[in-house]
Chains A and B, each alone.
Chain A
Amino acid sequence: MFFTILSIELYKIFRKPRTYIGFVAIAIIVLLIQLALKADGPTWLKLMFSGMDDMFAIQDGDVLNGYFVCFLILNTLLIQVPLLIALVTGDMIAGEANLGTLRLLLTKPVSRTELLLAKFSAGLVYTFMLLVWMAILSLFLSMWFFGTSDLLVNKSYTIIQFYVDNQGDDVFWRYLSAFGLAFLALATVAALSFMLSVFAENSIGPIVSTMSIIIVFTIISTMDLPLFTRINPFLFTSYMTSWKGFFNMATDPETGAAIRGSVYSASALVHAGFVLVLHIVGFFGVGLYAFKKKDILS
């Protein structure tokens, strides 16, 4: 029965016009950035890397390649995507309560646990598809549009260079891993808005509440105050940009040279993934408990 409900939920999600807002918004933003970089990219890059032209072994002009464009887009976009996620997952229970269809659904011989699990799984499939769409446009389209070369990343006023040379490509796997961790971060947002959706009777509340929580937590995560520093490790927003850790290479302690195929702190990435999964389970668990106890009065 789970897969029957899941297929029905996916069918419902992809028949709703609001589902496509996210896909369209991402496409517009990515294409605009790509067009702008194609038109004025070299000028903008010269300004950005002024004085560092002779520090790297890559050809002039190759800095503006598909990998670099993708990194730029992800940096910009992964902050806005939670809203697009909440737009759908925040509507999954509250929207049905508002429509009145929730009571008809719950008079069917389907357990509440099974129904909620199937609905949440459908929300995760949507989140995954949105991320795949983002990957196709920002990574693969950029690779096709701008080509591939070394990736330069500016981190804490230091330029890090990732190699694409005769020893192979050291960048692509990092992107795949980064998208994997980004999926966990976005799934946490999906779980949060889904949980809030259980408590609401219309979808505006969960969507606005999710964004408010993210904004408040992000402010706490970014402000370097002692009190905030103590609670930061427990906030999921502290791990929203952990995917960038895949673009931080380990260095040889003796020579100081960057080690190909390595990451600076694999344990930090595993920890981030673990905390995000814990949040997903926690949010879903609270939502499930409340949903099973809930009297359907709508």
Chain B
Amino acid sequence: MSELVKVTHLVKHFNDIHAVNDLSFTVNQGDIYGFLGQNGAGKSTTIRMLLTLITPNSGSIEMFGYKLPYHRNEILRQIGAIIERPDLYKYLSAYDNLEMFARLSGIRPTKIQLMDQLDRVGLSERAHSKVKTYSQGMKQRLGIAISLIHDPKLIILDEPTNGLDPQGIADVRKMILDLRTEHKKTVIVSSHLLNEIEQVATRMIIIHKGKKIVEGTTEELFDPADTLVEVQSHDTDVAKKLDYSPWIGRYQVLDNKFVFSLHARDVSALARDLVAMGISLENFSRKHSLEHLFLKLTAEAALQPTT
């Protein structure tokens, strides 16, 4: 796969604070690239540097074969972005906002094209209502419509689920997956909701204090021998039944949930055994393994001496 984004030795500091410190990574065409890090890790600063909102102190950014800042407009023409929350002109309608940003992106869509785009995000019925009357979820959908109107190759979403209700979060997740599978787009998505990233990302990077801790595909990052499975049951004698099974000593009880630590290849055997033991399963799912990995890596990084 060809490299769409190549970031090399990127550095940005605000006075004495090193927001991004010698960061390098690549995003390939077709990736859903998860950008992970704690608050203040440097995710938003990096994304803003990709979008030319912040000027790096050193390092280079190459996108679509062009270098920043020399080919800024050629690069930005191929990007659609939502940074944190989609702040729009509240005193204008969704239709006006969409048309305005389409024109700024260098295209002149017809009325039908604009209405189609609004229809795709479920806003066509409220197309001419002022944005100030919209809910946060509607604004987010309008932001998505704006970021896609010029058919960009790369979509950058910085915390796209901020302020959304569970349905809104599920909608965004589905949209990200659709962008890759149906529209063949490349997506960079940052989020503090690790399970959201886990469900959509094909590759990811974890950064801590502006530095890369790890980067790779989902398969590369997760140790199959370190798989966690969460089990919930209404049965009261689950622990007793497990004491007489090969799974004794391989689980912990946390908040009335049984969390098993096992190799990925044993997951189906566990499910089979639990059913064979007559345990009625209310829930059987892999626990947020990304959260596990994230906490482990950031804890390790915190122990490293800072340079």
Contacts and interface: CB of A to CB of B under 8 A. Distances in A.
Interface residues of A, number: 25
Contacts of A110: 73, 104
A111 interface: yes
B105 A109 contact: yes
Contacts of A293: 55
B52 A106 contact: yes
A27 B48 CA distance: 45
Contacts of B81: 104, 107
Nearest to B53: A296
A140 B45 CA distance: 56
B91 A4 contact: no
Contacts of A12: 89, 92, 100
A293 B53 CA distance: 10
Nearest to A9: B100
B197 to A, nearest CB: 22
A4 B83 contact: no
A103 B83 contact: yes
Interface string B105-129: 1100000000000000000000000
Contacts of B73: 109-111
Nearest to B106: A109
Contacts of B104: 4-5, 8, 105, 108-110
Contact of A295 (B53, B83, B87, B96): B53
A15 B81 CA distance: 25
Nearest to A101: B87
A118 to B, nearest CB: 11
B72 interface: yes
A297 interface: yes
A15 B93 CA distance: 11
16 contacts: A4-B104, A12-B92, A100-B84, A101-B89, A103-B48, A104-B87, A104-B101, A106-B52, A106-B53, A107-B51, A109-B105, A110-B73, A111-B73, A295-B14, A295-B55, A297-B48
Given A5-B104, A107-B79, A296-B53, 16 more contacts: A100-B84, A100-B85, A103-B48, A104-B81, A105-B104, A106-B51, A106-B53, A109-B104, A110-B73, A111-B73, A293-B55, A295-B48, A295-B53, A295-B54, A295-B55, A296-B48
Closest 8 interchain pairs by CB?
A100-B87, A296-B53, A109-B73, A108-B104, A109-B76, A109-B77, A295-B54, A107-B51
